[in-house]
């Protein structure tokens, strides 16, 4: 089995998922009010990422079972990736909770995300 290149704590071969970085904006609706919608960030929204599932939690709220799935998503460093944004992969969405610059080298970024079901 061939070894994958290893750069700064990240195995480059695991960066095999194409994700789109999106932001939530407010737009005018037909009734004169405002509506929140998601759109791709303005510059180079599509990037390569590693997606790793790290946990799942089920809670019972308001007579409903609520399922929370957490993931760690690793990408190349970008200063515009922050909490409040989300990643989109096909028909799956990952809300960014927190971000961390791996090794403080501005090469890799790890985001803790919750999958929105």
DSSP per-residue letters across 8-66: TTEEGGG--EEEEEEEEEEEE-TTSSEEEEEEE-SS--EEEEEEEEEEEEEEEETTEEE
pLDDT digits (tens, 9 = 90+) for 26-70: 988 888 889 889 999 988 899 999 999 998 877 777 777 777 889
Q: Rounded to whole angstroms, how far apart are CA atoms 71 and 53?
A: 4
In a domain, 80, yes or no: yes
CATH of the domain at 98: 2.40.10.270
Q: What is the number of structural domains in the chain?
A: 1
In a domain, 100, yes or no: yes
In a domain, 56, yes or no: yes
Q: Rounded to whole angstroms, how far apart are CA atoms 91 and 19?
A: 11
Q: How confident is the model at residue 111 (pLDDT cuts 50, 70, 90)?
A: very high
Q: What is the largest CA-CA distance in the chain?
A: 61
In a domain, 106, yes or no: yes
In a domain, 73, yes or no: yes
In a domain, 1, yes or no: no
Q: Rounded to whole angstroms, how far apart are CA atoms 54 and 71?
A: 5
Q: Rounded to whole angstroms, how far apart are CA atoms 15 and 10?
A: 9
Q: Which residue has the higher pLDDT, 10 or 80?
A: 80
In a domain, 89, yes or no: yes
pLDDT digits (tens, 9 = 90+) for 92-102: 999 999 999 98
**Which residue range forms the structural domain that includes residue 57?**
6-116
């Amino acid at each position: 089995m061939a070894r994958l290149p290893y750069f700064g704590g990240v195995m480059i071969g695991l960066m095999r998922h194409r994700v789109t970085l999106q932001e939530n904006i407010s737009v005018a609706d037909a009734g004169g009010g405002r509506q929140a919608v998601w759109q791709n960030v303005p510059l180079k929204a599509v990037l390569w990422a590693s997606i790793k599932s790290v946990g799942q939690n089920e809670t019972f709220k308001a007579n409903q079972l609520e399922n929370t799935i957490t993931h760690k998503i690793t990408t190349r460093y970008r200063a515009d990736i922050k909490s409040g944004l989300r990643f989109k992969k096909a028909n799956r969405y990952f809300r960014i909770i927190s971000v961390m610059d791996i090794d403080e080298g501005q090469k890799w970024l790890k985001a803790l995300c919750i999958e929105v079901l």
